[in-house]
Chains A and B, each alone.
Chain A
Amino acid sequence: MGKSELKLIAKWSSPYVMRVRIALNIKSLEYEHFEETLNPKSDLLLESNPVYAKVPVLIHHGKPICESLVIVEYIDETWSSGPSILPSDAYDRAVARFWASYIDQKWFPSMKSIITVVEEEERKPYFEVMEEVVEKVEGALEECSKRKPFFGGDRIGFLDIAFGSFLGWLSVIEHVYGRKLLIEEKAPKLVKWAERFAADPAVKGLIPETDKLVEISKSLQIKWRAAISKK
């Protein structure tokens, strides 16, 4: 697989981009990394993702694929000889997709709201949502892992990628707002899983440093608050 066949429009801070990079690593794929500035958005991005103009976008033989989980499934199906990312059983796949969709619906929107809102009081309901997610995902880990180290079993899989990609941003929330969410008492399995996930060869070096994310969260906060006040 030559580098020229695969291109990834990326952003170092994006958990969604991270999902794709982990998947590419699992399949040991070489690719050209195109770091998107997002301000202004590159022509390449606007051409390859006209609907959303968002990263990640994977371009394979000139054809773009958008939306992180769609891309991860595409990678798994196209390079089917490598280690599998999705479970082999149809029911297990449905369960994995369900939880990944749940995480996307609840997790990042809550994080975004926590960063955006001004008052401490306004943050409370979003923290409650995040705590509920942790509790449910702890249950999902028990259900999916079947006593193995990862959601995907012996190796990291679809759901590990879907949730683990947010670990960097989770530590931003915990650090800036002084509220631990992934704690031993509430989610013992997830705490251990997080360590294993971060140490996995496909993941190593991809989780951005918390300090750098905290920096960028400040400019995102300004941007998101401005967008609300415009409405």
Chain B
Amino acid sequence: MYGYQKKKQATPFKHLGSNDLKCEMACQANEEIEIRENEYNLQRRIEIRVAASESERSDELLQRKSKCSMQIEIGILVSERGEENGGSEEEEEPVASEKTEMQMAESNLVLLDFWPSSYGMRVKIALAEKGVSYECKQEDFQAKSSLLLEMNPVHQMIPVLIRNGKPICESLNIVEFIDEAWNHKPSLLPSDPYKRSQARFWGDYIDKNVYSIGKRVWTGKGKEQELGKKQFIECLKILEEELGDKPYFGGENFGYVDVALVPFTSWFYTYETCGNLSIEAECPKLVAWAKRCMEKDSVAKSLPHPHKIYDFAMQYKQSHGLE
């Protein structure tokens, strides 16, 4: 097996097996770790270069910084004996198989949530996509917890993600933070700046329109509701046009805009029942997209059943005199 040589004080690395190459992530500022094999007959050389902007040291588990930019280059040279992996320079990023390590590391991650909130669902989906475990605390809006008031004094709203005691507020802000802080695949935002700008634009559009117009559909009456219904369908049609024939808003892969919009689909049954409309009839592609998203574990686990949302909506209307 391979031994390793450390230049500086560093977290221990797992042994690198000959056939089963695994890399553990360690984020340490300006540190270069060389791993050299003891057995020269295989002639493998793995260089792992980790560059990060900040460093925090934890006791035993993986070290994680709030911004981690990692470049892991694995160069595998073909040995003279012909290793089965072949000789090619591969660039590998840590992928979902490293999740268990991350789950262990994230013992200090709390999400303040309210289960019917589409905004809270966004964060749950993002965390599920990244395979990060966390503690979820339900808030009661009649009696907001002191933790919520302390962590989000400005808005006193959920969701709030609290990492090592530090809060991040506003759902799409949190989603972007999650994408950056756990920057392994799958990426939620594209890497190309233009595509990122388009994703942010549409996330912002969804924020400005879907909830506020949708509310007029499920709480409104008479003319106000009719106008709300018309505007709501217009809004969904604009989004449907943006989706086009792509499987997801993110293209081939589920991404940021999908995360931003899909939670509202758990409210579709409520909008349709209260508003006496059929979203499928008006926006069939969007409904097909919603079904496609629900096939993903991260989405299916994070969205409540539409009937539960409907029951909640009815109770809400009753208690607020909106019947």
Contacts and interface: CB of A to CB of B under 8 A. Distances in A.
Given A89-B53, A90-B180, A91-B177, A65 B170 contact: no
Interface in A81-139: 88-91, 93-95, 97-98, 101-102, 136
Is the contact region of chain A dominated by helix, strand, or loop, or is it mixed? Answer: helix
Interface stretch (B12-20, B38-46, B125-133, B197-205): B197-205
Given A51-B238, A66-B201, A136-B154, A91 B173 contact: no
Contacts, number: 69
B66 interface: yes
Interface residues of A, number: 24
A46 interface: no
Given A65-B201, A89-B54, A89-B66, A77 B196 contact: yes
Given A89-B67, A94-B174, A60 B181 contact: no
B176 A97 contact: yes
A136 B176 CA distance: 24
A70 interface: yes
A94 B204 contact: no
Nearest to A71: B197
Contact of A94 (B53, B54, B154, B176): B176
B168 interface: yes
A180 interface: no
B274 to A, nearest CB: 24
B166 interface: yes
A67 B201 CA distance: 7
B169 interface: yes
How extensive is the interface on chain B, given as a class?
20 to 34
Interface in B185-222: 193-194, 196-198, 200-201, 204-205
A91 B200 contact: no
B154 A88 contact: no
A63 interface: yes
A219 to B, nearest CB: 26
Interface of B: 53-54, 66-68, 154-155, 163, 166, 168-170, 173-174, 176-177, 180-181, 193-194, 196-198, 200-201, 204-205, 238
Given A60-B194, A98-B170, 14 more contacts: A65-B197, A67-B201, A70-B200, A70-B204, A74-B196, A78-B194, A90-B177, A91-B67, A91-B163, A91-B168, A93-B67, A97-B170, A102-B154, A136-B154
Interface of A: 51, 60, 63, 65-67, 70-71, 73-74, 77-78, 88-91, 93-95, 97-98, 101-102, 136
